[in-house]
Amino acid sequence: MSMDNSDNNIRQIAVVSSTRADWGLLSPIAVELSKREDCNVTVIATNMHLSQNFGMTVNQIISDGFTPVYVEMECDDDSARGRIRAMAQCMTGMSEALEKISPDLVLILGDRYEMLAVASAAVMMRIPIVHIAGGTISEGAIDDSIRHAITKLAALHLTETEEYRRRVIAMGEQPDRVINTGAIGVWNINNITPLSREQLGSELDFDFNHPFVIATFHPATLDNEDSGICCRAMLDALDRHPELNIILTYPNNDPGSASIINEIESFAEKQPQRVRLIRSMGAIRYLSALRYAEFTIGNSSSGIVEVASAGIPSIDIGRRQHGRAAAESVIHCGNSVDDIDAAINLALSPDFKKMASMVENPYYKSNTLQLMVDAIMDADPACLTTKHFYDIRQ
C-alpha cells in the first residue's frame, strides 16, 4: 500500500456514527486517531443519536471528548417508505457536512441503511471510504445487501476475520486494501476496566447480584414473520424462568421496530421488580454487565461477535444473523417459545456454561485497535480514489 509521507500534511478524517452500537465500536478508533499529531478527527452524528426517543445518544459522543457535526434525518417513521425518505435526507445532509469538513477519508462501520447514504455521498464527492466489518453474512436482514454494496463503494476494508477478508477479495477488492484486523468490539471487551456490580447497580437502578440476562431484539427485515410477535415469543420464554431478572434494551429504528418497542415496554411495565428497560446502556456499562450476566438473548450481532469474549453463552434467535461466523458458545434457535425455552435451558446448564467460559472467539486479535489505526494512517488517500477490480481467477 502506498504511503503518505508528507510531513506537513495533517490527515483529516471524518468518522460517521448513527447509533449507540456503532459509536461504542468507533469511539476507541476515533480517540486513538485524535491522539496523533498528524491526524484531525471530526465526528459526524446522525439518525438515532439525535432522537430523544432513542436516548439522545449524541451525548455519549460529546462525553468522549468530541464536538460532533449533526446531520438530521427522520427517525420516527419505521416503515420502508419512511426509511427511504430518511436515506434521502441523510445523503443530502451528509454531502453538506462533508463539503464543509473536506476530509481525506471517511470512516464508517457496518451495514445500516443510512450508512449506504453516507457512502453514496462520499463516493460522489470522491472521498475515499474506510469500511469496517465488510465480508460478513447475515441473511435474515436487508443489512446483508447493504453491507456488500458499501464494500463496493469503499476503498479500504478492515474485516473482522480472515474468512471475511477472503470474501471481500472475492468481490473484486484488491488484497492489499483488505486487512483482517479482528473485531473492535472484542478488543473493547478485553481492554476496558469493567465497572463493579455495585457501580452498575447504582447507575442503572438494577440488582446485578441477582442472576440476570441481557435481552436485545431487532427486526429481522427479510423475515415474513411480524417482529413484534417474534419478540413476544422471546419474552414468553423468559417468563418461564422467573428466577432470572432481565435487562431489556431498545431495538434499532429499522422497519418493524415500533412493534418490538410496544412489546418490551408492556412487558417491562408489568414486571417492574424484575425487568429493567434501558434505551441505551452505553458501551462501558454494556460490556461490564456482560461479565456478570448468565447469558445474552435476542438477535443482535453483538451476541455473535462480542459476547463469546465475555465467557458467557449467547442465544441467537431466528434467522437475522444466519451465516455469520460464531463461537461454540452461541446457541442458535428458532422463533417459537419452546425453541427459545430449550435454548435457555441449555445456556443455564453447568456443562454449557463451563464450555462458554473457555471458548475461542473467531473475532479475536490481540492488536485490533493498532492494526486499524495503522491501516488508516498508512493509506494514501490519493491512491484510494481509483479502484481496480481484482479478478481472483487470474
Q: What is the reported pLDDT for 156?
A: 98
DSSP of 225-273: S-HHHHHHHHHHHHHT-TTSEEEEEPPPSSTTHHHHHHHHHHHHHH-TT
Domains, the chain, with CATH or none: 11-182+365-384 (3.40.50.2000), 195-356 (3.40.50.2000)
Cβ atoms 247, 276 nearer than 8 A: yes
- Would you give the distance in Å from CA 290 to the centre of its chain? 16
- pLDDT for 73 equals 87
Angle at 340 between CA 161 and CA 258, to 5 degrees: 80
- For residue 394, what pLDDT is reported? 65
Q: What's the pLDDT score for residue 4?
A: 43
Summarised one tens digit per residue, pLDDT across range 198-214 is 999 999 999 999 999 99
Q: Name the pTM for this structure.
A: 0.91
Contact 365, 258 (CB under 8 A): no
Q: Which residues does the chain have with pLDDT short of 50?
A: 1-7
| Short-list 163, 162, 161, 158, CA closest to 178 | 158
